[in-house]
Amino acid sequence: MNTKNIKINGKVKFIFWVLLIAFVVAAPSLLPVFRLNLLGRYLSLAIVALGVDLIWGFTGLLSLGQGIFFTLGGYCVAMYLQLNSSSEFPNNIPEFFALYGVKDLPFFWAPFKSPLFTLFAAWLIPALVAAILGFLVFRNRIKGVYFSILTQASLLVFFNFFNGQQKLINGTNGLKTDVTQLFGQMVGSELMQRYFFWITAFLVITAWFFSKWLIKGPFWQYTYWNKR
């Protein structure tokens, strides 16, 4: 009986993945651009949800600051897209700088002219910030409600800091990317939205498999949950 149940479960999983992959492939042809964009956003937020589930569900630590790392990666990509589409503006810098009288590109923007640097920075900068915050938190053995309060406070600090940098990163207005160019196509176009959806879906599935591997691998024995 157990063997039969295992076989049934295996078939169900196989059918689920076939249907999921079929939906991912077909969704851009079935949904209008607006709905596809919304679904892509939900999928990208699912990656954040996986991170919350990993740290809260498997270590018992409720993090309220996951948005910090998600946002840092987003800003890296947005800065590249802004620079990649600024050749027609004065001084070859993003248009919003002219609103605040900035004539020279801030030094920390310059590396993001490189797509290769941006690709690595979008992963490494959030990871580096997370490593620093994690080191300080766990070194001082902060846990429970104090951990949650600290992560929420960190999020508010980053939020207020970024909002206050009008001249550097357009503050509360943010870095809009829908009218920027990538590979000769407008980012907000139907074609690019299709590619972004497929990439996002692939990353969500990859993140899920990575999380599953992580909790079953040797790393698991070093988690807070097993040590406490």
pLDDT digits (tens, 9 = 90+) for 125-184: 999 999 998 898 888 888 888 899 999 999 999 999 998 888 899 888 888 888 888 887
For position 25, what pLDDT does the model report? 83
Q: How confident is the model at residue 17 (pLDDT cuts 50, 70, 90)?
A: confident
pLDDT digits (tens, 9 = 90+) for 106-142: 999 999 999 999 999 999 999 999 999 889 888 888 8
To the question of pTM greater than 0.75 for the whole model, the response is yes
Judged by phi (left if over 0) then psi (alpha if -120 to 50, else beta), residue 31 lies in beta
Question: Nearest 5 degrees, angle CA 28-CA 45-CA 96?
Answer: 85
* CA–CA distance, 33 with 113 (Å, rounded to integer): 29
